Amino acid sequence: MVNIEMETCRLTDYADLESYRANLQAKKTENKVITICCGTGCLAYGASKIGQSFKDEIKNQGLEGTVSVKFTGCQGFCERGPLVVIRPENILYQRVKPEDVSRIVTETIRNDLILDDLLYTIPSTNEKVRCEEDVPFYKKQLRLVFGTNGYIDPTSLDDYIQAGGYQALNKVLSSMSPDEVVDEIKISGLRGRGGGGFATGAKWEITREAPGELKYVICNCDEGDPGAFMDRSLMEGNPHSIIEGMVIAAYAVGARQGYIYIRNEYPVALKNSEIAIKKAEEKGLLGKNILGTGFDFSIKISRGGGAFVCGESTALMASIEGRTGEPRANYIHTSEKGLWERPTLLNNVETLANIPLIINKGAEWFYGIGTGNSKGTKIFSLVGKVHNTGLIEVPMGITLREIIYEIGGGIPGGKKFKAVQTGGPSGGCLPEEKLDLSVDFDELSRAGSMMGSGAMIVMDEDNCMVDIARYFLSFLEEESCGKCVPCREGLKRMRQILDRIIEGKGQDEDIELLIDLSESLTMGALCGLGGSAGNPVLSTIRHFKDEYVAHIQEKRCPAGVCKPLIRYYIVEANCNGCSLCIKECPADAISFQGKKQPVKLDQDKCTKCGACYDICRLNAVEVK
Amino acid sequence: MVTLTINGREFSGASGQTLLNIAQKAGIDIPTLCHSHAVSDYGACRVCLVEVEKRNRKRLVTACLYPIEEGLKVATDSERVIKVRKTIIELLLARAPDSNDIKELATKYGIEASRFRDVTETSNDNCILCGLCNRVCAEVVGVDAISLVNRGTRREVALPFYDETNDCIACGACSYICPTKAIQMKDTKEIRTMIWPNSKADFKMQQCESCGVHYAPVKQLEYIALKSGLSVSEFNNCPDCRH
Amino acid sequence: MSVNKDSIYNIVDEVVVKHNGDPSMLVAMLQDVQAQLYFLPRESIVRIAEKLDIPLTRVYSVATFFRAFSLKPRGKHNLKVCMGTACHVRGAEKVLDKIETELCVCAGETTKDMKYTIETANCVGACALGPVVVVDNEFVGQMTTDKVKTILEKCN
């Protein structure tokens, strides 16, 4: 890939940046760009090997200079990875294998022929789709923030500038006062994308007005919500957009020092943001005397140590200060007294990535997208029991049904939809009746869930809601810092109650006890983690009480999940004695009965690990 | 001066004071476990929760940390306060069922037994992780010998690595401040044994040159000598024999 | 793995210098030390406290608070089973069970031969691939119980 930064000189004023951009755009020589998605999903499917093969092939076929190969961040459609998109036509090839590379170059790049077998096929109609934008997964999306990921190499500042990057910063520094910037964000109606949904403009205003010379801006990339990975993908795939957002925020609130707090589990995000910071500094877009305006702002990276609670503002700040990530009471808001007791603006990755967009296109434009109190788009990670898993960006107000069935392609395996969990461990599970709910901050809260950071986990009839509630509680129990009594002791007791329900030892009063403890947590816990920890329990009791009752009164797990309440059976009519399950069984519970004879399962020995069920190709193992 | 109402009565105090300061001065009973005037407030035990009303919004806050505000309406015994406080006390009782102090508090709130403790449970060290011991050690004594280690339900009070006694001077401040008597201190002439919920260590006692009585831990005297600039020999005699 | 005291001190000292002896970089320092030693030996924790002139209790509390740190030696290969929600609903528990049965140790433990350490993570952020197992930093997606033996055999 030809990717040499044009010049290493600093940009010293506004005009400088614009002429640099014009220069980049004029210099563009290649007529085709092959983009290879290098998000975590595609990498796991071997994207880097494919990328290397493309580079070799382009070289072998003498196409260097006219065709470039670009490794991009996550493009979203993880389910069909590795993804290769040929631009400018946006031809999408999915599930690409290394052996496909040479024919792609020969046929598609050289001869403009489409390789049908690599195109996406719409399952219901068997129709092959050629362009990225026509794939149903992308069609309903509005990819304002996330879309750029597919076009740029995250390690190249030139790519970002060419795509219009740092234009917003230029506009802000050259023609807007800090107050005007704050007003613009307030007018846009942007709300924090990290979970709380606090009005971003108001937060900026409080920090701006807080007395003190030293102020900080922190970008929260401690994406701990299980099931969410949009912040990771943005930080990995387009770090400059976040940096640009931070510099604008710093200018608006009057901060000179910033931190990006990145969780330990995201090494690529760490690497790419480090590169981006360095390059932005070299170009004079970050650091001292930004674009020759005399405005200074620098960014340090702080690595998390693996603690969900550090997504909580005060815990995150304690961790940056080098202490245990323990929250403290924030009766005085961190906007006034935050990091080292100084006024601190803490924004989430996705929130900051929206900032350049709002500045460039205007607050009114942004305000025009979305619903009443929820403006703009939201990135969701659509995962779990759904056909098209991946990251999606949709306008606020879209319905759950549109997301799950039109973008997500519905539930695989002919199974029935049961629930969708939104908002991570602080959120709730919504049943089928809520599928036409329009997705925004207020509607989700009203239904007993929340927006959270945007995890959307689809569950089908094979998922047990009592098990899901227990899952979230044990997650939170492990992630609780342990400081306050309601959270530390309450979560432990709630998990114990759910344990006994799952073991078939539940008592009638257990549901009452769970509600009681959940409410005490909501009202009495110190921080947001504990304060919302009861939600998964309350929402499953609210919408799926019958499952609790089945466990407690009938000692039965209707979904066939809770081990102590289920049994595996051999369906004799389906079994041909192939013995695959016998080899797989770790407990020697299955015995061979002769050729073509159904095998026998000894219930006393069975540990209910489910290995036989998973391995059987004949549907001869059933669970009840 | 800031004026506010607590349980319908008007009070005033200097800005920066907490609700607990004002309530205690006025003789309004708010239970506390992790609070001590000797150390910074922490807000962990949550039994001092009270209900505050601001802009028609009510919420529960810890009285020990909440700074007083002009016009604030506070209720220290509203239905919600009592309900949540009782659940918290029940949770504490399940954790430390043998602690007399917790039992007394429970009785005061009409709790006979905790609904949460399983009959088969055996663990019981009386420690409620209020963090008073480590705060007094760090903030008052200034040695930072013990701390809260691990996270979540595995959290404990311990010496570093459970056995590192290098910084401990055996002063016993942690034992005295502990609201549930979970930290024990035993003196047997030459030796003082400190017993924390998860660690135990022996410390040598200083013997009086004159009367031979063992009167204080050697390390504590050394620490005082170091801090005060006095010579260690100043501590050769027990208080009685110094005269 | 056993490392002598002097080399631990050298590693710690270099890391402390790299971060300008700034106590607010404690978490990063512990990470850097662990990156070289694979765990945090007692000596390293004591040394950091000395070098930064901060209480040992503070370093020890931080080291035991964050999940990223291990105070026990780890095996040659690291199997991190993601227990995030997306993985959970697609059967992560079963995968973990199978790995535990195969290696005869529980999550958080290391096999006697010091070859494997099993860990769980509360979401590794690869939710679209669930269930996910991260084998020595490599993501294996759509894990099933019958793939377990293959991934273990690949570790050598």
* A104/A112 Cα distance (integer angstroms): 10
Cβ of A305 within 8 Å of Cβ of C90? The answer is no
* A144/B206 Cα distance (integer angstroms): 74
Which amino acid makes up residue B155? R
Interface test with A, best of C31, C40, C85 (most A CBs within 10 A): C85
Q: In terms of C-beta distances under 8 Å and separation of at least 24 residues, what long-range contacts does A98-103 make, across chains too?
A: A98/A46, A98/A49, A98/A50, A98/A53, A101/A50, A101/A53, A101/A54, A101/A57, A102/A53, A102/A57
**DSSP string across A86-118:** EETTTEEE-S--GGGHHHIIIIIIIH----GGG
User: Does residue A309 contact residue A479 with C-beta atoms inside 8 Å?
Assistant: yes
- Subunits next to C (3 or more Cβ pairs <8 Å) are A, B
Give tens-digit pLDDT for A400-421: 999 999 999 999 989 999 999 9
Which amino acid makes up residue A125? T
* Percent helix / strand / coil, chain A, rounded to 5: 45, 15, 40
Structure confidence at residue A149 as a pLDDT band (50, 70, 90): very high
Sort out which chain A residues have CB atoms less than 8 A from B94's CB and list them. 489, 493
Per-residue pLDDT, A2 = 40
Which residues on adjacent β-strands are paired with residue A375? A370
State the smallest CA–CA distance between residue C19 and chain B in angstroms. Answer: 24
Choose the closest CB to A482 out of B80, B83, B151.
B151
* A206/A199 Cα distance (integer angstroms): 11
Cβ of C57 within 8 Å of Cβ of B151? The answer is no
**DSSP string across B133-187:** HHHIIIIII-----EEES-GGG-EEE-GGGT--TT-----HHHHH-TT--SEEEE
Averaged confidence pLDDT in chain B? 94
Per-residue pLDDT, C31 = 93
Per-residue pLDDT, A1 = 36
Mean pLDDT for the stretch of residues A397-402? 97
Give tens-digit pLDDT for B55-111: 889 999 999 999 999 999 999 999 999 999 999 999 999 999 999 999 999 999 999
State the smallest CA–CA distance between residue C108 and chain A in angstroms. Answer: 13
Per-residue pLDDT, C2 = 58
* A383/A421 Cα distance (integer angstroms): 10
Least confident segment among A6-15, A82-91, A523-532, C26-35: A6-15
Mean pLDDT for the stretch of residues A169-184? 97
* B191/B193 Cα distance (integer angstroms): 6
Choose the closest CB to B144 out of C42, C55, C64.
C55
| Contacting C residues, span 5-24, partner chain A, CB-CB under 8 Å | 22-24
Other CB atoms within a 10 A radius of the CB of residue B54 amount to: 12
Q: A39 CB contacts (<8 Å, ≥6 apart)?
A: A73, A74, A75, A76, A78, A81, A233, A236, A237
Which residues on adjacent β-strands are paired with residue A64? A67
pLDDT more than 90, % of chain A? 84
Which residues on adjacent β-strands are paired with residue A429? A421
Cβ of B150 within 8 Å of Cβ of C55? The answer is no
| DSSP H helical ranges for A304-415 | 313-320, 349-361, 363-367, 400-401
Give the predicted TM-score (pTM) of the model.
0.93
Per-residue pLDDT, B227 = 93
Q: Does residue C1 carry a pLDDT above 60?
A: no
* A·C CB contacts under 8 A: 168
State the smallest CA–CA distance between residue B166 and chain C in angstroms. Answer: 10
Structure-token pair, residue A150: 């597919």
Q: Is the minimum CB–CB distance between A46 and chain C shorter than 8 Å?
A: no
* C7/C76 Cα distance (integer angstroms): 20
| Contacting B residues, span 123-182, partner chain A, CB-CB under 8 Å | 128-129, 131, 148, 150-155
* A514/A491 Cα distance (integer angstroms): 10
Interface test with A, best of C122, C136, C140, C143 (most A CBs within 10 A): C122
Sort out which chain C residues have CB atoms less than 8 A from B160's CB and list them. 45, 56-57, 59-60
Structure-token pair, residue A453: 């950071």
| Contacting C residues, span 112-151, partner chain A, CB-CB under 8 Å | 121-130, 132, 137-141, 144-146
Q: Is the minimum CB–CB distance between B148 and chain C shorter than 8 Å?
A: yes
Sort out which chain A residues have CB atoms less than 8 A from C91's CB and list them. 610, 614
Coil, helix or strand at residue C129: helix
Which residues on adjacent β-strands are paired with residue A568? A623
Coil, helix or strand at residue B101: helix
Q: Does residue B207 carry a pLDDT above 80?
A: yes
pLDDT more than 90, % of chain B? 87
Averaged confidence pLDDT in chain A? 93
- Strands A32-37 and A67-72 come out as parallel
Per-residue pLDDT, A7 = 52
Give tens-digit pLDDT for A114-130: 999 999 999 889 999 99
**DSSP string across A194-213:** SSS--BHHHHHHHHHHS--S
User: Does residue B68 contact residue B4 with C-beta atoms inside 8 Å?
Assistant: yes
- Subunits next to B (3 or more Cβ pairs <8 Å) are A, C
Cβ of A485 within 8 Å of Cβ of B88? The answer is yes
Per-residue pLDDT, C156 = 74
- Cis-peptide, bond into residue B239, ω within 30° of zero: no
Higher-confidence position of B60 and A265: B60
Cβ of B59 within 8 Å of Cβ of A523? The answer is yes
Averaged confidence pLDDT in chain C? 92
Higher-confidence position of C86 and A246: A246
Sort out which chain C residues have CB atoms less than 8 A from A384's CB and list them. 85-86, 89-90, 130
Work out the burial of residue B151: count CB atoms within 10 Å of its CB; fewer than 13 is exposed, 13-18 middle, 19 or more buried: buried
Which segment, A571-580, B27-36, C127-136, is predicted with the most confidence on average?
A: B27-36
Mean pLDDT for the stretch of residues C137-143? 89
* B62/B67 Cα distance (integer angstroms): 10
Sort out which chain B residues have CB atoms less than 8 A from C61's CB and list them. 147-149
Cβ of C61 within 8 Å of Cβ of B164? The answer is no
| DSSP H helical ranges for A391-483 | 400-401, 441-446, 465-479
Which amino acid makes up residue C2? S
Task: Name the residue of chain C whose CA is nearest to A587's CA.
Answer: C101
| Cα A488 to Cα A338, B121, B190, distances in angstroms | 25, 17, 40
Structure confidence at residue A3 as a pLDDT band (50, 70, 90): very low
Q: Is the minimum CB–CB distance between B32 and chain A shorter than 8 Å?
A: no
Sort out which chain A residues have CB atoms less than 8 A from B131's CB and list them. 483
Per-residue pLDDT, A124 = 84
Give tens-digit pLDDT for A444-486: 999 988 998 899 999 999 999 999 999 999 999 999 999 999 9
Cβ of C129 within 8 Å of Cβ of A475? The answer is no
What φ, ψ does residue A261 adopt, rounded to 5°?
A: -100, 110
Q: Does residue B47 carry a pLDDT above 70?
A: yes
pLDDT more than 70, % of chain A? 99
Give tens-digit pLDDT for C51-80: 999 999 999 999 999 988 999 999 989 999
Choose the closest CB to B149 out of C42, C61, C67.
C61
State the smallest CA–CA distance between residue C114 and chain A in angstroms. Answer: 23
What φ, ψ does residue C12 adopt, rounded to 5°?
A: -60, -45
Cβ of B149 within 8 Å of Cβ of C42? The answer is no
Per-residue pLDDT, B120 = 80
State the smallest CA–CA distance between residue A482 and chain B in angstroms. Answer: 4
Q: Which helix (H) or strand (E) holds A271?
A: helix A267-282
* A401/A371 Cα distance (integer angstroms): 17
- Cis-peptide, bond into residue C131, ω within 30° of zero: yes
Structure confidence at residue A4 as a pLDDT band (50, 70, 90): very low
Give tens-digit pLDDT for A503-545: 999 999 999 999 999 999 999 999 999 999 999 999 999 999 9
